[in-house]
C-alpha cells in the first residue's frame, strides 16, 4: 500500500510502514511541511496514496472529492504516543485493507475504528 503522512504523524510510524513493505512518505521527506490540506489531497490523489493524519478536515475533503478515489486514515486518539498510533494503524491495515483500496475514510479511535466507504457513482 502507498501512504502519505501528514505532519502530525510521526516519522517512526512511517518507518514502521516502510519496514512492513509499504511505500510510505512523510510530508517532511519532501520539504512540504506547510502545504495546505487541499494540496496534500491533490498529491495523495495523483500518487494513489492513502493519507495518514490527525487533521479532521481530511474527512470532509475526501468525502467531497467527487469521483476521485482517495482514502484517508484519520486518527482521533487520546493516546498519541507513537507505539500506540502504530498499534492502532496495524489493526486498521489488518481489518480494513479492502476498504482502503476501494476508497474510504477510516476514523481511528482508542478502542475501535470506523470505516466509511467513499461512494463513486
Q: Structural domain boundaries of the chain?
A: 2-117
Share of the chain above pLDDT 70, in %: 93
Alpha carbons 96 and 81: distance in angstroms, whole number:
22
Any residues with CB less than 8 A from the CB of 44 and at least 6 apart, and which? 4, 50, 51, 70, 72
- At residue 20, the 3 state secondary structure works out as coil
Dihedral angle of Cα 13, 18, 24, 27, to the nearest 10 degrees: 50
pLDDT value for 118: 79
**Angle (nearest 5°) at CA 109 between 105 and 45:** 25
pLDDT value for 103: 86
- What global pTM score does this model have? 0.91
Amino acid at each position: 500500500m502507498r501512504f502519505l503522512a501528514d505532519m502530525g504523524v510521526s516519522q517512526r510510524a512511517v518507518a514502521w510502514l516502510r519496514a512492513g513493505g509499504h511505500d510510505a512518505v512523510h510530508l517532511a521527506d519532501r520539504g512540504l511541511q506547510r502545504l495546505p490540506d487541499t494540496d496534500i489531497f491533490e498529491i495523495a490523489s495523483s500518487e494513489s496514496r492513502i493519507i495518514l493524519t490527525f487533521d479532521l478536515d481530511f474527512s470532509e475533503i475526501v468525502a467531497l472529492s467527487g469521483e476521485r478515489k482517495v482514502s484517508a486514515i484519520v486518527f482521533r486518539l487520546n493516546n498519541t504516543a507513537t507505539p500506540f498510533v502504530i498499534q492502532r494503524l496495524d489493526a486498521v491495515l489488518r481489518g480494513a485493507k479492502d476498504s482502503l483500496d476501494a476508497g474510504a475514510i477510516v476514523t481511528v479511535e482508542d478502542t475501535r475504528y470506523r470505516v466509511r466507504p467513499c461512494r463513486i457513482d
